[in-house]
A and B are shown apart, each in its own frame.
Chain A
Amino acid sequence: MSGARVGDGVRVAGTLVLALPKGRVMEESLSALRSAGLRLEPRGAGRALRYDAGDAVVIEMRNADVPTYVELGVADAGVVGKDVLLEAGSRLAEPVDLGLAACRLSLIRPRGASTMIERVATKYPRLTAAYLGRIGSGAEVVKLTGNVELACLTGLADAVVDVVQTGGTLRDNDLEEVDVIAHSTARFVVNRASLKLRSDRLRPLIEALRRHPGAR
């Protein structure tokens, strides 16, 4: 096919494009992908957001954007947390649970709080609204983007829904986990068309990733 079109930005025929989230998960994902047999060079000194790493082109982005890039087929595959996938309501193929970045998505309140919840602050408004609906609460949901725990401490909200990894932040701020809404780990996600059309490259990769320690 010739000619430009929306979404063509990073496509070169035959090249695998991977969308990876910035930060620690990116490093861990790269090492999982390498041990699965992909030759991926480090990016070097620059700050390129998109670089040819050898066996694949890597594009780097905020984790919440990964489902969009993969769903619209700009990237063939990517790595992203299950929490993000649930919030996005995504229908991507999720063939490998990498077991990385394990965390819980929980309802958190100041220690000992027992009043009815009236307002919940969260980075996950969709999941939170669905959860509140399930437990029959009529609390309102406020969307925040940073330090959600702060909402509880300052009285902006009387509960928050956020990820809990070790629980350290909660203890330090006298907060407690009241209910676990979902468990999350990093998933290897694949565009549904790519899974079929580039199965020669993706299937062996999926098989190998499943053998990575901690993955299933």
Chain B
Amino acid sequence: MSQAALPDGTRFVLPDTAARRDELRDLLRDLYHAWGFDQVEVPSLERYDPGHPRAAQSFKLADRDSGVLALRTDFTPALAQLVRAAHPAVAGGARRPVRYQYAGTVWHAIDPELARTREFTQVGIELIGVSNARADAELIHLARESVRVVGLEPRVEVGNPGFVRAAFDAAGVPGPLRDLAADAIDRKDRSDLSGVLAPAGLATASVDALLAIPDLYGGTEVLAHARAAVPWPAALYEIDRLEGVLREFEDDSELMLDLSMARRLSYYTGVTFRAYTPDFGQPLLGGGRYDGALLPAAAGFSLGLERLMRAVARRRSVSETEPLVLAFDDAGARRLRAAGVRVVRALDAEIEAVRREARDLGIPFVLADGALEAIDPGADVERLAELRTVLSGGGGA
């Protein structure tokens, strides 16, 4: 067999990391489950669609019949398809909430620079079928809880690309300049923005209002600033909409506003948000409302599990998940496993060799010839007594 290098941007996951990743994954699944989000699975192979926003970033595969397939780059399109198949009424516009959660691998065919991997795990939720402030608030609540549940301090920034779009409409920014102008606003780059707008010949008051947008971020005071600086009715309507979402929160201290969030203006139709944690320089989670793009009413978010792991302080998995017993004796091993103890099968037969094997694997107890012993004199004697009780049939561990 050849010793070829791994493909760029892929990696092995060793037991410690795998265990921590599963732990985070379980915490998130239980959180979303507790809020009524049901788990679904979708295929990782999709029909290649050149119109998909991430089409250029997908790994393509030739199908047998000369069709082209792609590895999924995110879950949203497949989930929308699932909803169209399973809930045709909702897909047709009926108002009925459908709550789904998902987790799995996604692949991005990008230059693996800036520490980005090309294969990673995405976890997320979608709330489909209802579009109102309470639905938006539910997702923002869960974005905040997703960060909290893994033991980090959450900060969630909330924006509304509809505001920027309304301002463009009202000011009469010509279509061809809109992407560049939105990009400059999203980068808070007023100097670039004034350069982009210069050839459009807009009224001075309109240019001034647009140039105020990059600085409209901060706490709730931003809403008042925005009303004063960008006073077009359609823009005010979008500010009201955002305020309506914020009213759903009793405690909005962990929320921040950013009215200059302006990425993917043609996709997101309502609130968008990102979650951060202090002293970690990258967003942990992102999402928003995209009514009409794939389904009449839909919103959701996703997070990258590998990045979340980097943000979480290194902590070992709880000790109970480490293998506890190395057993030569299969009947005893069965009894211990039935009580939830992790038991590894000894591959040596002779007792000294089994003890050595346990020492090499870092397993504290050995079960051989019907006897359970600790290989280290400093072992946890209470734990040993507990395990002996289980072995003799005296109740659970």
Binding site for B on A (CB under 8 A): 1-7, 11, 13, 68, 71-74, 76, 91-97, 187, 190-197, 199, 203, 216
CB distance from A44 to the nearest CB of B (A): 28
Q: Count B-side interface residues using an 8 Å CB cutoff.
A: 32
Report Cα–Cα, A194/B214, bound state, in Å: 16
Partner of A191, one of B115, B217, B278, B281: B281
Question: Which residues from 181 to 218 on chain B have a C-beta closer than 8 Å to any C-beta of chain A?
Answer: 186-192, 194, 214-215, 217-218
Residues of chain B contacted by A193 (CB below 8 angstroms):
276, 280-283
Residue on A with the closest CB to B276? A193
Residues of chain B contacted by A4 (CB below 8 angstroms):
314
Residues of chain A contacted by B190 (CB below 8 angstroms):
95, 97, 216
Residue on B with the closest CB to A4? B314
A-B contact pairs, 25 of them (CB 8 A): A1-B277, A1-B278, A1-B279, A1-B280, A1-B313, A3-B314, A5-B313, A5-B314, A13-B279, A71-B114, A91-B186, A91-B187, A94-B192, A95-B189, A97-B192, A191-B281, A192-B283, A193-B276, A193-B282, A194-B281, A196-B155, A196-B258, A197-B155, A197-B279, A199-B217
- Whether a CB of chain A sits under 8 angstroms from the CB of B315 is yes
- Whether a CB of chain A sits under 8 angstroms from the CB of B310 is yes
CB distance from A151 to the nearest CB of B (A): 25
Q: Is B214 within 8 A of A196, CB to CB?
A: no
Q: Is A73 within 8 A of B187, CB to CB?
A: no
Report Cα–Cα, A95/B282, bound state, in Å: 18
Partner of A196, one of B114, B256, B282, B310: B256
Q: Is B191 within 8 A of A97, CB to CB?
A: yes
Q: Is B152 within 8 A of A1, CB to CB?
A: yes
Q: Is A197 within 8 A of B276, CB to CB?
A: yes
Q: Is A199 within 8 A of B218, CB to CB?
A: yes
Q: Is B279 within 8 A of A11, CB to CB?
A: yes
Residue on A with the closest CB to B214? A95
* Interface bits B274-301 vs A (CB < 8 Å: 1, else 0): 0011111111000000000000000000
Q: Is B217 within 8 A of A196, CB to CB?
A: yes
Residue on A with the closest CB to B156? A196
Residues of chain B contacted by A91 (CB below 8 angstroms):
186-187
Q: Is B280 within 8 A of A73, CB to CB?
A: yes
Partner of B313, one of A3, A190, A191, A216: A3
Task: Give 4 nearest A-B pairs by CB, closest first.
Answer: A73-B281, A97-B191, A3-B313, A94-B189
Q: Is B281 within 8 A of A72, CB to CB?
A: yes
Residues of chain A contacted by B215 (CB below 8 angstroms):
95
- Whether a CB of chain A sits under 8 angstroms from the CB of B126 is no
- Whether a CB of chain A sits under 8 angstroms from the CB of B74 is no
- Whether a CB of chain A sits under 8 angstroms from the CB of B157 is yes
Question: Which residues from 305 to 329 on chain B have a C-beta closer than 8 Å to any C-beta of chain A?
Answer: 310-311, 313-315
Q: Is A93 within 8 A of B187, CB to CB?
A: yes
Report Cα–Cα, A196/B159, bound state, in Å: 13
Supposing A72-B115, A74-B281, A91-B187 touch, asked if A3 and B315 sit within 8 A by C-beta, the answer is: yes
Residues of chain B contacted by A191 (CB below 8 angstroms):
281
Question: Which residues from 244 to 291 on chain B have a C-beta closer than 8 Å to any C-beta of chain A?
Answer: 256, 258, 276-283
CB distance from B212 to the nearest CB of A (A): 13
